[in-house]
Chains A and B, each alone.
Chain A
Amino acid sequence: MLLVCGTAPLKELPLTEGEAGLDGDILRVGGAGIPCTQGTAALVSAACKTLDYLGQPAPRVLLVGDDGTGKGSRQLYERLIEDLPRLAPRVVVLHYMLPVMGLMRRVSESASKAPRRPFMIADAAAMYAAKAAGIAREFDLFTPDLSELAFLADPQATHPAYVSRHLFESDSTRIPEMVAAAYANGSAARTLVVKGATDHIAQEGRILDTLSEPDIPALEAIGGTGDTISGMVGALVHAGYDEVTAARVAVRANRTAGLYAGATPATRIRQVIEALPRVFADHLDGWVRQAQIERAERSAP
């Protein structure tokens, strides 16, 4: 099971659990309809498209309304603390939720009580909470953008709004240095997928791949283009790909979907997501072959 956990901008949405499905640009979960916009809805929608293309079951979702009060987020944390061992998902993606350090620690402890600890992915404020709580190393994969990488590289910061100025002002040429700092201070998951003008994939402190083509600068402006990468990585790992192959495919697919959608700064994320099946049909096999060849070369003595 791929379990995606997050919040939706619907104040009245109770904690809702169910299989996700797309109905046009509406995400359906347990009888609730959520517009496919920036945030966890975009992440789940991209995961749905990916798993559907691969002929895999749809993702299971734990979604709750929260407009920032944290009430919904706390219900979500409590449910995870109580139910993760029973649910025993293969992959968990933690996403938009109020960062609460103590509760995130307990979620990670709960994950370890499952028969087999799930592959743990954190993005958005779930990643902030994991880093601030000092448990980043318990996670398998983070998907920061450049400003969030600066946050991971700053050993003291508990939120990206309090990052040291010199780190925030760093440009993409300093990504290797910031990746090294994030691993050195224990603030990185085992694998990092750094999203930006040039995407970087790092594992255990080493940058394994960079990608900057096709170059679609408008993607940075479109709300949800980071969420879609996290959704695709989660789906691909769940489908059996190793995390580096999954990351390589996801960042390529995101860029190519932007190209196919003719992305401009006014494009909506649902237009990018709609392009994904065509992107997979055209490129998935080739990208997977290429990633596997490079993986074999990397592991050769």
Chain B
Amino acid sequence: MFFKSGKKNGFEGGGLVLFESVEEAMSGERALKAGEFETRLVAPPPELRRGCDLALEINLVEKPAVERALQEREVPFLDILPIRGDAELLQVVKVTDFGEALMVKAGNMKLTFDKASGVVLNISGGGCPDIPYLHAEMLAKPLEQAPRPKAIGRTLCALMLDRAWEQSLEIRKNGNG
């Protein structure tokens, strides 16, 4: 296997950004370094290879922030994937009805809102450092007025919270909340 695991002083991020061309991969590296992301140019393993044979290894947890940084600098990329395991982010959402409130669970994140007002009552789960920050920013605000987790969060936990927030809005829109 190309990727070294457990290398003491090497960067090991668990995620890959794939590009169509080598030029785009180089631009991507410049964009991410400017954004102070830890990253390195690598050759993707054959089973993940699409586009060119140069990719960027990133800390997979920072996928939303990496996507945002590349889009802001107009660097096209094909995909961001985990190096091992399921390539698909969890799409499953579960809903718990507490009577006056609904809890929407996406991955490891749970968002609870008041059915009548749509106000965010609580956010639980997760473990990345932007979650307490998002908790403080979103709590006690109506879902529609709360900042979008994906817009201000940076991690996969924030992305899961974004899924829960989107689904909560959908439930409200359909009059089920």
Distance from B30 Cβ to chain A, minimum over Cβ atoms (Å): 19
A145 to B38, CA, bound (A): 29
Q: Does A70 contact B (CB under 8 A)?
A: yes
Count class of interface residues, chain A: 35 or more
Question: Is there contact, CB below 8 Å, between A223 and B123?
Answer: yes
CB-CB under 8 A from B36, the residues of chain A are 69, 71
CB pair A98 B128 closer than 8 Å: yes
Is A151 close to B, CB under 8 A?
yes
Of A47-55, A121-129, A278-286, the segment with at least 4 beta carbons within 8 Å of chain B is: A121-129
Given A68-B153, A147-B125, A221-B110, verify A96-B132 contact (CB < 8 Å): yes
Most buried by B among A98, A123, A225: A98
Contacts of B127 in A (CB 8 A): 95-96, 99, 123-128, 148
- Smallest CB gap from A150: residue in B: B108
Chain B interface residue number, banded: 35 or more
Which of A24-32, A155-163, A205-213 lies on the face that meets chain B?
Answer: A155-163
Q: Which residue of A lies closest to B107 (CB)?
A: A161
Pair A221/B122 contact, Cβ less than 8 Å: yes
Given contacts A161-B90, A164-B86, A265-B112, contact A68 B130 (CB under 8 A): yes
- Report the 6 A-B pairs with minimum CB-CB distance, sorted nearest first: A68-B130, A156-B85, A124-B127, A39-B132, A125-B127, A68-B154
Could you give 6 example pairs across A and B, Cβ below 8 Å?
A145-B108, A161-B108, A168-B107, A221-B103, A265-B112, A266-B122
Instruction: Using CB atoms and an 8 Å cutoff, list the residues of chain A in contact with chain B.
Output: 7-9, 35, 37-41, 66-73, 95-102, 105-106, 123-128, 132-134, 145, 147-148, 151, 154, 156-165, 168-169, 217-218, 220-226, 264-267
